[in-house]
Structure 1
Amino acid sequence: MQTRGSWGFWVLFTGAAVSIAWGGCGDDEASTSGAQTSSSSGGDPTSSSSGGDPTSSSSSGGPIILPDCKTVLVKELNLFEACETCLYESCCYEVSVCGDRSPCPACVTGEEECTDEALEASTALTQCAQADCKQECFDPPGPPVELDCTAPISSPSGGSCVTLGDEVLCNPVTNAPCDGSIGESCDFGAAGLECYPPPNPQGLCAACGPNILYCSGGLTCVGGKCAKFCCDDGDCSASAKCDVNVLDTGTFGICVQGSGGAGGMGGAG
């Protein structure tokens, strides 16, 4: 589901635009059977189809009151309206269970690494979304691109193509004002572009994603690998180009080999 990065769940759970990147916990296609346990009539979920407050059963037989589905969607997942509405109608039970299994919401949005306790719930929510809300919550895959894996660390452009504002809280090319010395990284998120807390250890062309780890400052996760942000060709290696169409920003892009892609892609979360 696009959250962090610009592939997967839409949080801009966008893009990020979430887009979630997106990214969600894993980008593999889910079976249409998924882990569907939500009520077919939509609304607030229960462990049955009778409606009412979301509940489950404890080991002692008593009811466990799960978090309200809509509260989790609005306050913890922060998705685009179309995705939020579809999940509320089709995956409400999975959303509520995720809200009850900390840090599942943060795992789904890419803000934290999935723990064993949250993995089952986040996987069930992602599978349900892929099965029932794919059009509303996931971007279609874009054309393949070959990343520039020899791009220089520094960017001569100085990130001049990026202007900070309400939805651009940091410069992805320079990573400012994120503190790279402690592992903060500027990437796509619920606010557009924001500083993500550590750990973000993955280097250029290293594997990345919500079930692995995310990219260090100046990089973003595209197709499961860390790509370098850029303003122009000068930020890339001599044999590569800065493709501003891949992320659909129109201003900054990523360094790719050859003539680049045809647009429509985005980060893997």
Structure 2
Amino acid sequence: MELEQIMQPENIVYEKTKILTDKPMHYCPGCSHGVVHKLIAEVIEELGIQEKTIGVAPVGCSVFMYNYLNIDWTEAAHGRAPAVATGIKRLLPDRYVFTYQGDGDLAAIGTAETIHACNRGENIVIVFINNGIYGMTGGQMAPTTIKGMKTSTCPFGRESSQDGNPIKMTELVAHLEGTRYVTRQSVHTAGNVRKTKKALLKAFKNQEENKGTSFVEVVSTCNSGWKMTPVKANEWMEEYMFPFYPLGDIKDI
């Protein structure tokens, strides 16, 4: 096949979604955030809801997400994204509203907002990035840090007797009556990327059908915080994170 034929538009098999801006992302090489951003952008484009989508980003590595997705955005105080999203959705029920939160945000300072929004069944999507560490502020132990995992505030590994036990937010919210779809996915392989996109698409469609809260956790790496290369971080995640945070749908009603 001639090069001119290959370059024809009808032969394009993949093209970056127009929902993503051209601004270079600030995330560390190997970070999972950029992949999840792309998937959310693709879902918004495929559903044709760009003009009706509002994202809520709180404090954390994702605080600058508004630079990367060309939709309406609002920022929330640390941990308060579900509360802000609740207010937006109730005032503008025809909008698609989602939060994008890390584990230090959602599972620590934002625990109350998360639990009560899910328990009320607010018709929003909550996207939860779980890398088991505070990535933005120096790699401290998070509520999701697994036992034995080393961080800057538990350099010898998390010990239950001193640091308490890691919390499984996804299993916790699955028990609440207001949640309708609760799932845990990852984006470390092409196959898992497809599964995560399918989960996000289902979550946004659930909101369209007014089904209540959809909660999508993405188990992720933080190779900078973990002090590993991207490849080693993925291997470590598979070996140690997945046994404690198993992937798959937890609740779908």
The interval holding the TM-score normalised by the smaller chain is under 0.3
Q: TM-score under structure 1 normalisation?
A: 0.23
Query: Which structure exhibits the higher relative contact order, with contacts defined as CA atoms closer than 8 Å and separated by 6 or more residues?
Result: 1
Structure with more strand by fraction: 2
Structure with more helix by fraction: 2
